[in-house]
């Protein structure tokens, strides 16, 4: 963690990268946006588990119509 570098960016500026509206990288980009020093294993696990749950739900919703045939 001592190697991480913070990339302070206002949320309004960050949104265009978050929603892929901006294709070029911001000046001083170090491989992350925000504050990686605030990251924890627990936070990462929660994010990954939430993403997996959403993907499973999306797949189930997509497949439901085929079950009704």
Q: How far is CA 62 from each of CA 41, 48, 65, rounded to the nearest angstrom?
A: 31, 21, 7
Q: Are 57 and 67 in a shared domain?
A: yes
Q: Are 6 and 33 in a shared domain?
A: yes
Tokens for 14, please give them.
């960050």
Q: Are 20 and 48 in a shared domain?
A: no
Of the two residues 69 and 22, the one the predictor is more confident about is 22
3-state helix, strand, coil in the chain (%, to 5): 55, 5, 40
Q: Per-residue confidence at 15, pLDDT binned at 50, 70, 90?
A: confident
Q: Are 29 and 46 in a shared domain?
A: no
Q: Are 49 and 18 in a shared domain?
A: no
Q: Are 29 and 54 in a shared domain?
A: no
Q: Which pLDDT value is given to residue 69?
A: 54
Q: Are 50 and 66 in a shared domain?
A: yes
Q: What is the pLDDT of residues 30-69, one digit of tens each?
A: 777 778 888 899 999 999 999 999 999 999 888 887 666 5
Whole-model pTM? 0.56
Q: Are 25 and 44 in a shared domain?
A: no
């Amino acid at each position: 963690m001592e190697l991480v570098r913070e990339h302070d960016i206002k949320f309004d500026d960050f949104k265009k990268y978050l929603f892929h509206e901006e294709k070029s990288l911001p000046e001083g980009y170090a491989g992350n946006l925000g504050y990686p020093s605030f990251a924890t294993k627990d936070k990462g696990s929660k994010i990954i588990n939430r993403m997996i749950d959403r993907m499973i739900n999306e797949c189930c919703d997509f497949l439901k119509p085929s079950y009704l045939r």
